[in-house]
Structure 1
Amino acid sequence: MRLVGGASRCAGTLELKHQGEWRRATSGDVVDYFEMEAAAAFCRDLNCGSAVSLRKRQVSYQSLWLLIAECRPDYDLPRCVMSWNASSVLELTCSDSVRLLNGTSLCSGRLEVNYNQSNQSKQSWTSVCEDHFDQQDAEVVCRELGCGPPSALQGALHGDMGAPVWSKEFQCEGHESTLLDCRSSNSTRSSCSPGKAVGLTCSEPIRLVGGASRCAGTLEMKLGEWRPVYTMARTLREPAAFCKHLDCGSDVSVKKRELSNTPMWLLRFFCEPSYFSMMGCLQSPTITSESFTTGSVMELTCSGKPIRIRIRIRILY
C-alpha cells in the first residue's frame, strides 16, 4: 500500500497493489470508527504514526480496489480486496512523528516518537521516558492526533518494550503544532528504566457549541472532522454520558433542533457511550459527497461541575 498526493509520505490517497496492479482504494457506504481502526492498522504498516483522519473524496467513476467491510477492523488485505467500480476514494492522514499503541481507544496508548524522520528507509520509533514528559507535552500530542485534551498521564499502562530509547526531555509550551516542534534538552539522560514509558490517554474529541457556557449547546464530535451529532434521543443515558465526559456534571435538559445541508454523525443503535468508547458509537451514513445532511441534532444543557462549599465550624466551650 501507499499514500499519494499528500503533503507527506504519511498522507494522501490510499492506493493498493493487488494482483499486480496499483489502484486507488474505496470502502463501503460509511466512514466510521471501525474504518478508523483499519486506518490505524494501515498507518502502522506504512511505518507512520497514528491515524488522524479518514475521508472520502469524489472522483470520476472508475475501477478501484474495494476494502470488504466484513474484514474490519483488522484487514488481511489479500483476502479483503475485490475489484469494484465506484466514484469515491479514501483519503488517509497519519501523523508523521507520534503514535499511541496498545490503548483502549484511538486516543490512548503507549506514546512512541519517530526519532529518525530524515531517513525514510530507516524510520525508528521509540517510547518516551515518563520523567521527561509533562502535561504541556501531552496537550501537544493529543492535539497533534486530533483528540481532546489529556485526561491521564501515567507510565506502564499500555505495555512496555523495555527501557525507552528517547531520553531527551521535551520542553513544550503547549501551543506547538507537533511534539517535535517543541524544544528539548540538549543532553541525553540515561536514568530511565523499564516500566517508565509514557502511557497517555487523551479525551475523545467532544464539545458543546453555541450555548451560554462550555457545558451547553449543540453536541459536536470529531472523527477526522467536527460534525454535529444526529440523535433520535432513545434514552437519557447518552446525554448523561456526554455531560460526564465533558466534566460538566449530569444532564439537565435535552432538546432537538432540525438542521439541513449540514454533514452529521449518527449514533449507532444499541451503542452505550462510555468514557473510552464514545467514538466507537459514531458512523457517517454517507453514500455520496452530500453525506448525511438533514435531521435532528442534540441540544444539551449540563448542570456544570458541582460547587463544593467548605464550612468551618468553631465550637466554643
Structure 2
Amino acid sequence: DTGRVEPPEDYDDAVTAGPIPDNLEEDEAENYDEAITADQKSVLLTEDVSENYDDAVTAETNTNITTDNPEDYDDVITEEQDGGETEGSSMAFHEGRVRLSGGSECQGEVEIYFRQDWRRVLLDSWSLSEASVLCRQLGCGSVLNYRSSPSTTEHKHMCVTGFSCSGSEAHLGNCSSAQPVNCSSGEQLYINCSEFKELRLTEGCEGNLEVFYNGTWGNVCHNQMDDETVNMVCRELNCGRRGSLSATEARVKSAPNWLDYLKCRKPDSNLWQCPSSPWGQNRCDNSDEVAHITCTDDKKSLHTQEKCSSVPSQKHCS
C-alpha cells in the first residue's frame, strides 16, 4: 500500500510540498502530533490529533511526503488514495474516530467518523470484542454493558454496522467489514464503559504502581509487564520517558489487585488502552508480585516524597 507511510518508532508526521526545511520545528508532544509547513496548510484537508493516532490527509497526491519518526507511529494518506482504504480489511486510518453523545465521557450513544461524516453505530453486529476496543479507544477502561439506544436518529440518516474486532485492536479503525446502512434497519448502540480511573507511583516518580478504580486504590501486578508498559507509565505521569521494573510487596496488604498481565503496544497512547486481564482478575501474590517502577531521566531517579492519600486526585504517596 503505497498510500501509507509508517515510521518504525513512535509518533509525528511532517507533510510538506518538498523536503523539510532546516528551520521546521517538530511538535514534541509525548504521544503524537503533526508539523505542517505554513505553505502546505492550504492543501491540508483533514488533520486528526486524537489520543490514539494521527494522520494528515492532503487534498492532492503528494509525492514528497516526509515523515519524522522520533517516537511512535502514524500514517500519511492523500484524499485521492483514501477512496480504496474503506473497502479493504479495515477502514482508512484517519477514520474510526469515536465519540459518545447523550451521556458522559464514557457513557452514551456511539458515533463513529466514517466516510467523512459522523454516523451512529447499529447494535445488530456488536459483541463484547467490539465493545472492549471502543472503551479502550476512548480511554475508558473496560466494558460495563451495552444495549439499544433509548433515542433514534431520522430514518433518512446513514448508520454503520458490521464491525468485526478480535478485541485486541487499539481502535475501531483497525476492525474489519464496517458498512454504511440506513438507520431504519436496526437498533442503535448505547455503551457504558468503566469511567473514572487514575494511576500513581507511591513515591512520586518511583514506587509501587497503583490505579484508582471503582472508588478504591489498588495494585498492578508485574506479570508479563515489559519495558513498553513501564515507559508508558513514566510518560503518562510526566516522570521522564523510561523506567525500570521490579517486583515487590503491596504497600497496603488489604488493597485489591486491580490489574494483571498489563502489556502496552506501540499504538497505545495511554495506559487504559493497553490490554490486560479483566479488572480484579489476577494471579498475583501481594507479598512479592506487585509492580514497582523507578522512572529515570538521564539515568537519574526522579524520586519525590509526598504523604499518601486515599483520594483519587492524590497521585503521590510514600
Q: Scaled by the length of structure 1, what TM-score is found?
A: 0.39
Structure whose residues are more often strand by fraction: 1
Using the size of structure 2 for normalisation, the TM-score is 0.38
